[in-house]
Amino acid sequence: MDTVEVLGSHMAYVDEGDGDTAVVLLHGNPTSSHIWREVVPRLSGRARVIAPDLIGMGASGKPDIEYAFADHAAHLEAFLDAVGADRPVLVGYDWGGSLALDWAARHPDRVRGVAVMETFLRPMTWAEYPAGAVAFFRALRTPGEGERMALEENWFIETALRATNGAIADEDLAVYREPYPDPASRRPLLAWPRQIPLAEEGGAFEPAAVAERFDAYGAWMASTPEVPKLLLTAGPHALGSPAMTAWARAHVAGLEVAGIGEDVGHHAPEDAPGPIAEAVAGLLDRLA
Q: What is the mean pLDDT of residues 249-269?
A: 95
What pLDDT does residue 237 have? Answer: 78
**Active-site annotation holder among 53, 118, 270, 271:** 118
**Could you tell me if 287 and 226 are in contact, meaning their C-beta atoms sit under 8 angstroms apart?**
no
Sequence-ordered list of residues with C-beta below 8 angstroms from that of 221, at least 6 positions apart, any chain:
101, 105, 121, 229, 251, 252, 253, 255
pLDDT above 90 for 162: no
Active site residue 71: no
What is the pTM (predicted TM-score) of this model?
0.97
SS3 133: helix
State the chain's mean pLDDT as an integer. 96
Dihedral through CA 154, CA 156, CA 159, CA 162, nearest 10? Answer: -140
Does 75 participate in catalysis according to the annotation?
Answer: no
Annotation says 266 is catalytic: yes
Hey, where are the domains in the chain? 2-123+208-287
What pLDDT sits at residue 94? 97
CA-closest candidate to residue 256, choices 287, 235, 211: 287
Determine the CATH number of domain 2-123+208-287: 3.40.50.1820
Q: What average pLDDT does range 202-229 have in this prediction? A: 97
Residue among 15, 53, 71, 94 flagged as catalytic: 94
Segment among 6-15, 30-39, 159-168 with least mean pLDDT: 159-168
Q: Which of 27, 34, 75, 266 is catalytic?
A: 266
